[in-house]
A and B are shown apart, each in its own frame.
Chain A
Amino acid sequence: MSTFEAGRYDVIVIGAGHAGVEAALASARRGASTLMLTLNLDMVAFMPCNPSIGGPAKGIVVREIDALGGEMAKTIDQTYIQMRLLNTRKGPAVRALRAQADKHLYIQRMKEVLEEEENLTLRQGMVKRLIVEDGVCKGVETETKAAYYADNVIVTTGTFMRSKVLIGDLAYESGPNNQRSSTDLSDQIQELGIEMVRFKTGTPMRVHGRTIDYSKTEEQPGDEVPRAFSYETTEFIMDQIPCWLTYTNEFTHTIINDNLSSSAMYSGMVEGTGPRYCPSVEDKIVRFNDKPRHQVFLEPEGRNTDEVYVQGLSTSLPEDVQNQMMRTVPGLEKAEIMRAGYAIEYDSVIPTQLWPTLETKKIEGLFTAGQINGTSGYEEAAAQGIMAGINAASKVLGKDPVILDRSQAYIGVLIDDLVTKGTDEPYRLLTSRAEYRLVLRHDNADLRLTEIGHDIGLIPDERYERFQEKKRLIAEEIERLEGIIIKPSEAVQAAVEAAGGSQLKEAARASDLLKRPEMGYQAVADLTEGGKELPEDVKEQVEIQVKYAGYIQKSNQQIERMRKMETKKIPENIDYDDIHGLASEAREKLKEVRPLSVGQASRISGVNPADVSILLVYIEQGKIAKVADES
């Protein structure tokens, strides 16, 4: 194919979904000249599934992205239709925000941000192939014969790789929402020797809001307290729109059961593996046939549209069956489908072929991020996007790669899981995947990551100073509370009892008093003199850090142990065949994953503690040999 040279950049990002926009912005903002290519510039950061961002674990990721200087948090803060803090009755570690998004406003706002970025070029186009020479990525070619050159290319093509939409017995090549599928690129990536698997996901029907009878459903309002994802957000949207809850019933289930064979997923048409955590309604009925009902949430897709997302009825049944089945649900008896639900199948990269920087091991300069790596969810995609963007820019700038570990961020857990363990279904973050979730909290994402964000130039100095000030206030207040002895005076006893606790037996430090479950920060601070008015986020931080100090300490000890193994680096040129004594399964897995540290090696399934010990001995042996050679 004869091409024309259309431009030279430091970094090219293919795709403009949630991974692509974060990748492009991070790269451009770090100073790498960046080109973003996308099939449709009207669809940047589009939400093809739930009109919602956040949730347990995911909401914390959004805040982490913010602390690293990403865009998702700020954009959703400006475009949500409702916001809730989840798990408020549980401990601080598992609280998380979730917003219902105005998906159209979200696109608009994100496009503005992209357009404002000076170092970023936006172009609509279909990438046909990568330019690869001698195992090194050099750029891309589009179907219009434009050749763009760059030493780093980040592929964030989501579910568009050889994607196929399925409804009943209808199947056609298409990306989500009838956008074009990308076939050539997927084929070429496999020709380059990168293995891909077929995954599947699905989405429910959307209905016209005016045809819903909301009186038969329960209202699900947003929080009345102003909340935001970004630590920088100061203006809050208080005019919120509710969601609604209803349920399936035995009639729904009968219709589904009677028509199972016509569902694309059950007729044998689908080859891809679907996620267990986001099952189609067919799956729910089949796998849990004893459940009399399943929840259905009705979620508005925006302020300026009457389209409503029917969360819980994800399906690939034929359209007429979808209609029939949906109309058995209270409130939806007369609902009109605007878009039918569908299943979608696509190629995704087996992520153990990636370094923790998200660069492929096979092709230097080629990164993949987002749903193409076998994940699901906008937040998981955005998290990978920002890290790929940061690391591509690191290469351009000649700086160290940035790899977050499992104790620093959910982003670290996500990427480590992907590149170390791989995944055999679309991967979703869950709080239970994080072994140190007590330190990976919603409230302290800034404390964990702002420093890094500033170091890599994504957090401006002025924001960094505000952050330093917050840290200082927290430390001072904790020190102050630790230094104050509260005597069991009448006023004190009354305050303690008012909070629902038992009387003090003897004088106690203010900090110890705060450790009592019933005592909040304010109640304790009121018993002390010389306290000053502190910002709410500082008070919250003081309370959490003092109250749960014992548990946090325990976690930190575990982290300390993990870090020791993490700092034991495995030489890049290690030859696993040369290591005597490794079990053969471990040897194969180590050769496949090529872990960077002994810690990472120990997390690979099939590598047991004896293998880890042998690996350690082998590495130390090499060091001793080296010292011997030198002397």
Chain B
Amino acid sequence: METDTISAISTPLGEGAIAIVRLSGPEALEYANQMFRGKDLLEVDTHTIHYGKLVDPETDELVEEVMVSVMRAPKTFTREDIVEINCHGGMVSVNRVLELVLAQGARLAEPGEFTKRAFLNGRIDLSQAEAVMDLIRAKTDRAMNVALKQMDGRLSNLIQNLRQQLLETLAQVEVNIDYPEYDDVEEMTNELMIENTKHVHDEIERILQTAKQGKILREGLGTAIVGRPNVGKSSLMNSLVHENKAIVTEIPGTTRDVIEEYVNVRGVPLRLIDTAGIRETEDLVEKIGVERSRQVLQEADLILLVLNYGDELTEEDKKLFEAVHDMDVIVIVNKTDLPQKLDLEELNRVAGDHPLVNTSLIEEKGIDQLEESISDIFFEGDIDTGDMTYVSNVRHVQLLKQAKDALKDATNGMEAGMPIDLVQIDVTRTWELLGEIVGDTVNESLIDQLFSQFCLGK
């Protein structure tokens, strides 16, 4: 009954070595087959599992080695065709797989949507109906709240701003159409439209590149551990890694041969930067020199600055603080098992607003507080969510990409000399997609804009 094909990660995030990306709907097999190199999934028997490689069909680039289960309707959970892609359980790999599936044309499932479909297709019995409704209500409202809260205020403003620019352009097109004899307004031409939409396109592109959370979701929160020799950087890393089942990944296609470690701290994917350096030398700052450490710092989204409780604050420490003063920093006062030599008043002055956490890594104390601190920084203390944060973010990224594509269609149309009212269809679509991000797609606003922007009669 539902017409489109949906997809989502159906295993808890960051736990377990295997993650499953599930597709359900009429095109599930087709989408999976487009990316799968192995048997022809369209031909295989139902309820079978197949080994193969997942590639990006556009570039033929290898993404993952996977096992793919094929289950044809109607004997499936949703009573639709279902494909389950079993891939490596890291945030990065599973996200890439999901993104690829969405790029084939699947829609990101709403929270609870697999269950909803199961119900609507008669798979789940009547007694569960109320539960499904609760699920829809709760999840949707929560998802919306999360989506809205999650949105950095600045980003939200930015998108509203872009929408307003598009709306004004659209209103001008509409006024030309609905009031062809109205001569007070400049005729919206393709050239003018290209000019007006280019800025929006560039902005979307920029947001896509820099949207902090989107990047983190794809790449992990770049985290650098810094500090003088012997403050406990290596222990800190090991603690984080051991506590959190690190996934060691070789990043393919990059020129760096650095091994990076990914750990999942309370749902926050951390990418520990230059861990090799720390392991080998325990001495990042000194050994590789100021230049290199600055570079590492630049890559980082989060700095874990480690100090020694049993030592006074040195000039070196203060330089480090200066170097990272405008970044997200957690100050870790380690070795609280030692007698205090650190001047806490001085430290508070130097550390400013950065949160402080006391640890004794040897005694395994303070790790919980540290993790809480990390999670606070990421979620800005507002939200206690599991995978929801992640869902709403992929959703934003997905919508931004679609918006960009729609705008690209518009630009292509304009350049091909298509009439403005056709090009306008794609611009309107862009406006709607951006609206979905901020939870607003009411069409009446175009008409309101029309009448407030122009003085119309006839």
Contact = CB atoms under 8 A, between A and B. Distances in A.
A97 to B, nearest CB: 12
Contacts of A628: 126
Given A91-B422, A295-B182, A561-B3, A613 B174 contact: no
Nearest to A277: B456
Interface string A219-231: 0000000000000
Nearest to B420: A90
A618 B134 CA distance: 12
Interface stretch (A348-356, A431-439, A453-461, A466-474): A431-439
A264 B4 CA distance: 56
B417 A610 contact: no
A430 B179 CA distance: 10
Interface string A485-513: 00000000000000000000000000000
Interface in B349-387: none
B451 to A, nearest CB: 4
Contact of A86 (B136, B180, B417): B180
A564 B25 CA distance: 15
A610 B421 contact: no
B140 A613 contact: yes
B203 to A, nearest CB: 24
A617 B132 CA distance: 8
Contacts of A431: 174, 177-178, 421
Contacts, number: 132
A56 interface: yes
Contacts of A314: 457
B141 A610 contact: yes
A517 B450 contact: no
Given A279-B456, A291-B455, A617-B120, A430 B447 contact: yes
Interface in B415-448: 416-422, 425, 442-444, 446-447
A90 B421 contact: yes
A90 B190 CA distance: 11
Interface in A87-104: 87, 90-94
B133 A580 contact: yes
Given A564-B3, A610-B137, A90 B119 contact: no
B450 A432 contact: yes
A295 B457 contact: yes
Contacts of B178: 56-57, 430-432
Contacts of B450: 430, 432
B136 A87 contact: no
Contact of A614 (B136, B176, B456): B136
A571 interface: no
Contacts of B184: 291, 295
Interface in A225-251: none
Contact of A581 (B3, B137, B443): B137
B254 to A, nearest CB: 38
Interface string B99-126: 0000000000000000010011010011
Interface stretch (A206-214, A587-595, A619-627): A619-627
A438 B447 contact: no
A311 interface: yes
B129 interface: yes
A193 B447 CA distance: 32
Contacts of A610: 136-137, 140-141
A284 B419 contact: no
Contact of A284 (B174, B421, B443, B455): B455
A428 B430 CA distance: 26
A438 B426 CA distance: 12
B181 interface: yes
Given A312-B457, A580-B130, A625-B126, A617 B419 contact: no
B126 A297 contact: no
A473 B292 CA distance: 74
A42 interface: no
Contact of B116 (A94, A294, A617): A617
A551 interface: yes
Contacts of A288: 455
Contact of A613 (B116, B421, B425, B457): B116
Contacts of B422: 91, 93, 438, 548, 551
Contacts of B116: 613, 617
B458 interface: yes
A87 B419 CA distance: 11
Contacts of A617: 116, 119-120, 129, 132-133, 136
B140 A94 contact: no
Given A581-B136, A624-B126, A94 B177 contact: yes
Contacts of B181: 86, 295, 297
Which size bracket describes the interface of A in this complex? 35 or more
Contacts of A605: 442, 444
Interface in A544-572: 548, 551, 554-555, 560-561, 564
A50 B425 contact: no
Interface in B156-187: 174, 176-184
Given A56-B180, A295-B183, A609-B140, A279 B417 contact: no
A430 B183 CA distance: 18
A416 to B, nearest CB: 13
A532 interface: no
Interface in A258-285: 276-279, 284
Nearest to A425: B451
Contact of A435 (B122, B443, B457): B443
Given A291-B184, A564-B3, A433 B458 contact: no
A621 B457 contact: no
Given A277-B456, A581-B133, A609-B140, A87 B177 contact: yes
Nearest to B182: A295
Contacts of A297: 181, 458
A609 B447 CA distance: 23
A262 to B, nearest CB: 22
Contact of A91 (B120, B418, B444): B418
Contacts of A432: 174, 177-178, 446-447, 450
A56 B177 contact: yes
A26 to B, nearest CB: 28
Contacts of B418: 91, 517, 551
A318 interface: no
Contacts of B4: 561
Contacts of B182: 295
Nearest to A437: B421
A70 interface: no
A94 B178 CA distance: 8
Interface in B23-65: none
A628 B129 CA distance: 14
Contacts of B119: 617, 620
A50 B136 contact: no
A616 interface: yes
B132 A276 contact: no
A613 B416 CA distance: 41
A55 interface: yes
A433 B418 CA distance: 22
Interface string A604-615: 010011100110
B180 A87 contact: yes
Given A288-B455, A311-B458, A614 B137 contact: yes
Contacts of B419: 90-92
5 contacts: A50-B458, A432-B177, A581-B130, A610-B141, A624-B125
Given A90-B176, A551-B422, 20 more contacts: A86-B180, A92-B419, A277-B451, A279-B455, A279-B456, A291-B184, A295-B184, A311-B458, A312-B457, A431-B178, A432-B174, A433-B447, A517-B416, A517-B417, A517-B418, A548-B422, A581-B130, A610-B140, A617-B136, A625-B126
Interface of B: 1, 3-4, 116, 119-120, 122, 125-126, 129-130, 132-134, 136-137, 140-141, 174, 176-184, 416-422, 425, 442-444, 446-447, 450-451, 455-458
The 6 tightest CB contacts between A and B, nearest first, are A91-B419, A517-B417, A610-B140, A288-B455, A581-B133, A276-B451
